A and B are shown apart, each in its own frame.
Chain A
Amino acid sequence: MAFKEISNIAIQGIAACVPEHREDNKALSIFHNIEESRKFIESTGVEYRHIVKDSGFCTSDLCYEAAKRLLDELCWSPDEIDCLIFVSQTPDYILPATSCIIQNRLNITTNCYSMDISLGCSGWVYGLSVIASLLDGSTMCKGLLLAGDTTSVTKSPKDKSTYPLFGDAGTATAVEFKVGLKPMMFNFGTDGGGFEAIIIPDGGFRNVVSPESFLEEIIEPGIIRNRLQSIMNGPAVFTFGISKAPRSVNALLDNYKLDKESIDYYFFHQANLFMNEKIRIKLGIEAKKVPYSHREFGNTSSASIPLTMVTQVGSKLANKKLLACAFGVGLSWASVVVDTESIVCPDLIKI
């Protein structure tokens, strides 16, 4: 079993940024009629999505805005940042790593550890484990964890099984080495047996881009896409989510002998309302402890947990025991318990 305890690391602040442009699922033409869109919104909970409008606008642009605001509000100078981790599956380029570009753009010192991590929905928790591990027991003191995706760009607008579910967002989490804090406690899991459940088949190096990659395929009525756009096997992801997420939460609580009641807030990856409610009810957690942000933002991949923290809880995140459980593409999942002290949480940024 993969558990890890990391001491002496504080989350000092969290900021999130979404594109100003908002799409209304009620107005989408892929749904046959208003009744179909109403049913979709009722079950998935996704009414609106903030998505990028112009091509060439990247996740790093959203993360940059979130990071800049967060540094300002924390009164941290870019010179003090020792470590920058960028978690995303929508990088600026195939190479170089986007974290290097952001280091320069934020004027962060060149004496900085920078790295990209390619994970989706589970990414914020994995990223937190990496940056916390790096800061504990090193000369590095302050770190920025940037997590987000512009997954709307990877979805076919003619695919009703994916397009209306996903929104775009970028987030920044500021972490700092600080002696004497309660440890963060993690649980991790991976099942690459399900790698095809959420996949963009072409454009990597297994299937390089070819003229065939651009051909639209009619999978079934209402599901038309090409091989550079993402596929989601909804039922496979659903059975995965409702089994692994509760198991990971229970394993974490059991392993560290934590009482379910002692957790003030549970933040789940915002897959969709239907799946998230199944998970919550399976775990027997009261609804008021489980904030959701699907309605306004949809599923925003690795940004969904910090985005939910910022938009639904904000300054009340301070002095709490939080549990975050993230699961998705990979298939990959992770959970963490964090005790917060004071935490800077600027209002949501829209650009």
Chain B
Amino acid sequence: MEEKFILDFKETLEIQNQEISGETRFRDLENWDSLSFLSILAMIDEEYNVIIEGNDFQKLVTINDLISEIKKKQV
């Protein structure tokens, strides 16, 4: 799932030239803004059928955090 998620993540934010891995702290990405935040929430809803509440999202830091949150909610 990690690979697919990173692809979805990059596609959503139209990231081409930046390296993204599980350890990437997504808020440190260039051009990260409130719309990126909403786009990622929407992508997770569409692709993984999981709604991460805004307050829960605030606690997540890395791409791996996002993936484990999705897995937790899919159970």
Which A residues contact B (CB, under 8 angstroms)? 39, 43, 161, 233-236, 238-239, 242-243, 274, 278, 282
Nearest CB on A from B59, distance (A): 13
* Distance A238 CA – B46 CA, assembled complex (angstroms): 14
Interface residues of B in 33-52 (CB under 8 A from A): 34-35, 37-38, 41-42, 45-46, 51-52
Enumerate 12 A-B pairs (CB-CB under 8 Å) in ascending A order.
A233-B54, A234-B34, A234-B38, A234-B54, A235-B38, A239-B41, A239-B52, A243-B45, A243-B51, A274-B35, A274-B38, A278-B46
Interface of B is mostly: helix
- Whether A282 lies near B54 (C-beta < 8 A) is no
Nearest 10 A-B pairs (CB), nearest first?
A235-B54, A236-B54, A243-B51, A278-B42, A239-B51, A43-B35, A238-B38, A239-B53, A239-B41, A239-B54
Excluding A234-B38, A235-B34, A242-B42, 7 further A-B contacts by CB distance (< 8 Å) are A234-B34, A235-B54, A235-B57, A236-B53, A239-B45, A274-B35, A278-B45
Query: Could you tell me which B residues sit within 8 Å of A by CB distance?
Result: 34-35, 37-38, 41-42, 45-46, 51-55, 57
Summed over the interface, the residue pairs from A and B with CB atoms below 8 Å come to a total of 38
Q: What CA separation (Å) do A282 and B46 show in the bound complex?
A: 8
CB of B35 within 8 A of CB of A39, answer yes
Q: Which of A43, A235, A242, A274 contacts B45 (CB 8 A)?
A: A242
Give the Cβ gap from B61 to chain A, nearest Cβ, in Å: 16
B7 to chain A, nearest CB (A): 20
Report the Cα distance A12→B42, complex, angstroms.
Answer: 38
Instruction: Name the residue of chain B whose CB is nearest to the CB of A39.
Output: B35
Chain B contacts of A274 at CB under 8 A?
35, 38
Given the complex of chains A and B, what is the CA–CA distance between A243 and B54 in angstroms? 13
How far does the Cβ of A324 sit from chain B's closest Cβ, in whole Å? 23
Within the assembled complex, what's the spacing in Å between the Cα atoms of A79 and B38?
50
Chain B residues lying within 8 Å of A235, measured Cβ to Cβ, are 34, 37-38, 41, 54, 57
The CA-CA distance from A239 to B69 in the complex, in Å, is 15
Question: CA A236 – CA B37 in complex, angstroms?
Answer: 11
- Chain A contacts of B42 at CB under 8 A? 238, 242, 278
